[in-house]
């Protein structure tokens, strides 16, 4: 297939670029804002048509969660309007779409893992913009996978793991929220899963929603403690509440996602978060 990857300089896009060499049967077009402005509907339509794109993997996103509270126009532009442009081009060219979404679409009130049939309840501007993007893909009725992931990190880009490692080298003590529970996702694992999903199985005729993260669940505090420990650093990590942290955007208190559907549908074996975190940290040391 001829595959367009948007947001290719980000965490997931960079991991897809790294793994693409293992899939020589596909012809990849890696783009970011410099090569293709996906908010420009005509530019997207022309690019997809000119290059006969058969699959679009949309890794582009506005993901500055707190900044989105005062920058809602930009958040919805990239997380919703651009998604509409991609779906329009895909429909016109009979292309398939893989769209990446987030666990933040849920309100965090459940005490058991969220399934694909649970009703979203976004708590922030960022979450609302990502949920709007999901609705656009679902309503387009084009063949597509919407993959919700959570707490994404990588050796590429900016993320929680790299921030904690940097701060742990600079400060004797870190305070991290301990009352928000979720599952970290190593972008390299997700990239491998996506490429296997699109290469091995017949594509669906309509949108299908899936959840993907590494196995296990943990608080941000315990995640930070493990990052420091696996990095062989000595900084103390202390727990604080989300109320004390006082972030601009509200996050779900519990956003662990059930991954049974994606594992059963594609025969995926998903690594546990500890194992993947150790692999990423080894690359960052």
Domain ranges of the chain: 2-159+184-214+256-270
pLDDT of residue 203: 76
Rg (CA), the chain: 18
E strand intervals along the chain: 2-6, 27-30, 55-58, 96-102, 144-149, 152-153, 173-177, 181-182, 185-186, 207-211, 218-219, 236-240
Rounded mean pLDDT of 135-145? Answer: 94
Q: How are beta strands 96-102 and 55-58 bridged, if at all?
A: parallel
Q: Please state which architecture CATH assigns to domain 2-159+184-214+256-270.
A: 3-Layer(aba) Sandwich (3.40)
pLDDT averaged over the chain? Answer: 95
* Residue 30 binned pLDDT confidence (cut-offs 50, 70, 90): very high
d(CA 99, CA 7): 11
User: Do the beta carbons of residue 152 and residue 185 sit within 8 Å?
Assistant: yes
Whether 121 shows a pLDDT value over 70: the answer reads yes
**What's the first-to-final CA gap in the chain, in angstroms?**
36
10 Å Cβ neighbour count for 264? 9
pLDDT tens per residue across span 206-215: 899 999 999 9
Query: Residue 204's pLDDT is what?
Result: 81
Residues marked as catalytic? 126
**Across 189-205, average pLDDT:** 86
CA distances from 39 to 16, 68, 162, 181 (A): 22, 17, 29, 33
pLDDT over threshold 80, residue 201: no
């Amino acid at each position: 297939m001829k595959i367009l990857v948007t947001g290719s300089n980000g965490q997931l896009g960079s991991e897809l670029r790294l793994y693409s060499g293992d899939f020589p049967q596909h012809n990849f077009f890696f783009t970011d804002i410099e090569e293709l402005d996906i908010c420009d509907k005509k530019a997207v339509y022309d690019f997809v048509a000119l290059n006969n794109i058969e699959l679009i993997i949309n890794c582009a996103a506005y993901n500055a969660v707190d900044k989105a509270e005062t920058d809602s126009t930009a958040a919805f532009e990239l997380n919703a309007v651009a998604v509409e442009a991609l779906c329009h081009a895909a429909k016109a060219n009979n292309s398939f779409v893989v769209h990446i979404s987030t666990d933040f679409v849920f309100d965090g009130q459940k005490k058991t893992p969220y399934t694909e049939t649970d009703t979203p309840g976004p708590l922030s501007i960022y979450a609302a913009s990502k949920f709007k993007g999901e609705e656009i893909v679902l309503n387009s009725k084009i063949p597509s996978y919407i993959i919700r992931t959570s707490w994404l990190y990588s050796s590429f880009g900016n993320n929680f793991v790299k921030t904690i490692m940097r701060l742990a080298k600079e400060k004797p003590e870190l305070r991290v929220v301990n009352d928000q529970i979720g599952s970290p996702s190593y972008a390299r694992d997700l990239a491998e899963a996506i490429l296997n999903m699109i290469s091995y199985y017949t594509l669906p005729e309509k949108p299908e929603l899936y959840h993907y993260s590494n196995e296990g669940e943990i608080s941000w505090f315990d995640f930070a403690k493990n990052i420091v420990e696996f990095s062989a650093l000595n900084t103390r990590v202390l727990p604080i509440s989300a109320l004390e942290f006082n972030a601009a955007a509200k996050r779900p208190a519990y956003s662990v996602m059930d991954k049974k559907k994606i594992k059963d549908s594609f025969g995926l074996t998903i690594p546990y978060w500890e194992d993947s975190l150790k692999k990423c940290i080894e690359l960052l040391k």
